[in-house]
Every structure is written in structure tokens, then in C-alpha cells.
Amino acid sequence: MRSETTSETKAPAACLIGWPAAHSRSPLIHHYWLRTLGIEGGYVIEAVPPDEFGDFVLRLSTHGFVGANVTRPHKERALALSVPDDRARAVGAANTLWYDGTELRSTNTDVEGFVDNLDAAAPGCDKAEEAVVLGAGGAARAVVFGLVERGIRRVHLVNRTLARASALADQFGASVHPASWAAIAGLLPQAGLLVNTTSLGMHGQPALVLDVGLLPQNAVVADLVYVPLQTPLLSAARARGLKTADGLGMLLHQAVRGFELWFGQRPQVTSELRALVEADLTRA
């Protein structure tokens, strides 16, 4: 359902819908790709309060948009108001919307953001037999889905609130095992991959206290936190000579699919883009 206000000659535009949405790096990322690929298009921020979200999304094309990213607090509503793919359905939240003909479709690009970043930073780490994932919130759902999809045999899901880890494990099947925080030290020696999806280690949050010395020498450590860029967990892992994948890499990789769906070309996560966003994060 394209509106009369969207002319065929107008450059395509996408937006980020959030409330609030002012501090997102998504415009920087998409503007970089539009510029370097020579595509005429736009990407803007739309601050939409919860009570106006449904109307806004159902009339996205009328507002002149070919698609959108969706952030807090709208991701679950976005899922309900669109036709989700398997990833969005499994994660229980949609962060990317696009039109397939007249149908509003959705996906959750955090899954491929996580997996593609791991592939780029530590190729082959999905061969690990066991992974330990810390946290059982929204980001953990995307990470666990990605790891199960990649065939990791045992995913230990460790969370402060054990009931949340158990609920998530029930949803993702027999390869996901809930564990309490106290179990970490016993799990690390077998873990080929450790992923922090909690907010621990983020600026303003408590530190993540954990001994990376317990991990095997070939383990890979991923942290979803990207403020600061170099979290204490990543620093400790690097100091031990372990391979790492950082949260900024995931943020950049998760943006690829939306851009491709809206503007028709698959962009690259380049070192130049990374430096641009790093500089912006450092200024903040």
C-alpha cells in the first residue's frame, strides 16, 4: 500500500523509530553507506511515543518510508504489527521493518549482527562444542538463537535471575542449559566461547567480575557492551591472548541487512566505518 505522497522519483528513505531515539548511531552508519555507495536515499530519526507507534508503523509508507529500524520500547509491538521471519519470531522482537510488495515484513538483525561479527573477528569459533552466555534478556535471545542455529552443541545460559534463563532455555530446546551465576567458574574451563549479553561492564553499571584465566587457551570472548569500546572483560581476554569480538562490531554488522532490504545493495563493514563510529562514541 504505497501512498499518494510517496512519488516514484523521490529518493527512498528509512528511519529509526524509538522513544527516546536521539542517541542512536544508526544515522551515522547508514549515511556512510549511502554516501560511499553513491545511493540517493535518506535515513532519519523519528521519535514516536508508544501510544502513536501503531498508527505510525501501519502508515510507514504514507510517511514516505521504505522501511525502518525499531528500537526501545517498540520492538515487541513492531513484531505484532508485521509479518515476522523466523528470527524475529524466535527472539520475540523485531528491529527491522521493510515492505515485501504491500506486506510489512520484519526481522531481528541482532542475530546476524552477532554471528557475522563473530565470523569476522574469530573465524571458526562456531566449531566450539560449548558456549557460555551471560544474561537472559532481549540481546541474549538473539545470541542464543544464533548459536543454536549454528549448531553449538551445548549453550550454558547463565543469569542472575535463574527463572529467566530457564524460561529462555525451555523455548530454545535441549541444547540450551540454564545455570545460576554461581556455576560460572565450573563452566568456563570447557567453554570455547564466552558471550556477555548483560549490561555489566557498561559505563555507569557494575563491573563484570569473572576470571578469564579459567577459559581454555583457544577460547573466544565476545562482549555486546560497546560503551566503553574496550570493556574490562575484553581487555582481560586480550591480555591473556584470547580472540575477542566486540559490541561495536555487532552493532555495525546488524545494520547491514536493513540497508540491503531498503536500498538494494549489500554494504560492507569497513575499517573506515568502524573508525567513524568509534570516533563518535569516544566524543560522547
Please report whether residue 255 would count as binding ligand NAP according to CB under 6 A.
no
Please report whether residue 69 would count as binding ligand NAP according to CB under 6 A.
no
Query: Which of 32, 226, 259, 263 touches ligand NAP (CB under 6 A)?
Result: 226
State yes or no: is 127 an active-site residue: no
60 versus 251: smaller Cβ distance to ligand NAP = 251
Please report whether residue 254 would count as binding ligand NAP according to CB under 6 A.
yes
* Helices and strands (DSSP H and E) totals, the chain: 12, 12
CB of 252 to ligand NAP, least distance (A): 8
CB of 202 to ligand NAP, least distance (A): 5
| Residues from 116 through 175 that contact ligand NAP (CB under 6 A) | 135-140, 159-161, 164
Q: How far apart are CA 153 and CA 185, in angstroms?
A: 20
144 versus 215: smaller Cβ distance to ligand NAP = 144
Please report whether residue 112 would count as binding ligand NAP according to CB under 6 A.
no
**What distances in angstroms separate CA 253 from CA 32, 111, 154, 248, 284, one per listed residue?**
14, 10, 25, 9, 21
Per DSSP, the three-state class of 53 is helix
39 versus 227: smaller Cβ distance to ligand NAP = 227
Q: How far apart are CA 246 and CA 237, in angstroms?
A: 11
Please report whether residue 258 would count as binding ligand NAP according to CB under 6 A.
no
Alpha-helical regions (H) of the chain: 26-37, 50-58, 75-80, 86-91, 110-121, 138-149, 162-172, 184-187, 232-239, 247-254, 256-263, 271-283
Q: How far apart are CA 223 and CA 71, in angstroms?
A: 20
The binding site for ligand NAP (CB under 6 A) comprises 110, 113, 135-140, 159-161, 164, 197-200, 202, 206, 224-226, 247, 250-251, 254
Catalytic residues: 75
